[in-house]
Amino acid sequence: MKILVTGASGLLGGATARALAERGDQVTVLQRRPSGLGLREVLGTVTDPDTVRRAVRGQQAVLHLAAKVNVTGAEADYRRVNVDGTRTVVEECRAAGVERLINVSSPSVAHSGSSLVGAGAEPADPVRARGPYARTKAEAELLALAADSPSLAVLAIRPHIVWGPGDTQLVGRIVARARRGRLPLFGPATALVDTTYLTNAVDALTAAVDRCTVDGVHGEALVVSNGEPRPIGEFLSSIARAAGAPLPTRHLPVRPALWAGAAAETLWSLRPGDAADPPLTRFLVEQLSTAHWFDQRRTREALGWRPAVQLDHGFAELARWYAAVHRPRR
């Protein structure tokens, strides 16, 4: 199959593009900088119609991962990439006769800040979603699903907290904070949280490419996770332990932490051009103090998929990766 993957310079996008190519698909990747994957590349941004038009030409399926991902920043920047970029991808898919579009979304599009306990893929809600990333991803998901038609099958996949070896975003930030002694736990840190090991997320997206057809699975959103909710404190400690970093032990009360996060966001908003994230945000406190785990029955039925790597094996793989990275050179 001829498949375009947008956002292939990211961890999940790159791993998925590589897996599709390894199984024999003809893969094209679209991102702003070279991916190093050795695949056909179109360099540019999804906000540029000409670039997207060149990339989708002749493709049978598009796996759309390109997004602005962060917790702070001007909402206009998120909107330009996440909403306008998705609109451009959808329009060019229609014009080029692409048969299937898998829009990679996030469970945060349906998270209003309260706990999610055994939840399904509730409808994306831009009004209640927390923060500019979640709001714009919610709009993008609704926009993509609205394009589902007899000529273009659309499926939204929401991987939840993807992590694994080589992850410089989630894992890298957790480890860096742990090594500096700046990885606090909020409240008792016992809220159950689902996560997804990298190769399981890749397998789920690959299955989505195959199952998303006008005669198969389309027109809906599916949350993807390992289906192994763990207390958030245990998850953070397992990541730190795998990297040989100090385990988090300091507990902060949730409400004062939310106030501190709001203050930090306000302060950072007054620092134009500063690319660094604030040390604390309300979104971060909410994510680390509320439960969010999901019913995986519909996802597994629809995709014919089950996670092959359990969390404990994933932590062991992460520990081996860190050991290899920091092994002294001879």
The string over 65-101, giving b where at least 16 C-beta atoms fall within 10 Å of a residue's C-beta and e elsewhere, is bbbbeebbbeeeebbbbbbbbbbbbbebbeebebbbb
Reduced to 3 states (helix: H, G, I; strand: E, B; else coil), residue 164 is coil
Q: What are the Cα distances from residue 290, in Å, to 67, 183, 249, 276?
A: 25, 17, 18, 25
* Nearest to 139, CA basis, from 152, 153, 123: 123
Q: Which residues contact 323 (CB under 8 A, 6 or more apart)?
A: 244
Cα angle vertex 92, ends 88, 94, to 5°?
Answer: 120
- Residue 133 falls in the annotated catalytic set: yes
Decide the pairing of beta strands 192-193 and 230-231.
antiparallel
DSSP letter string, 167-194 = -TTHHHHHHHHHHTT---EETT---EE-
Sign of the alpha-carbon dihedral angle for 155, 160, 166, 169: positive
Region label for 24, one of left (φ > 0), alpha (ψ between -120 and 50) or beta (otherwise): left
| Residue 212: its H or E element | none
From 78, 133, 197, 322, active-site residue: 133
How many Cα neighbours within 13 Å face the side chain of 4? 31
Which ranges of 125-169 does DSSP label H, i.e. alpha helix? Answer: 131-146
Sign of the alpha-carbon dihedral angle for 194, 129, 284, 199: positive
Cα angle vertex 118, ends 112, 124, to 5°?
Answer: 35
Catalytic positions, written as ranges: 133
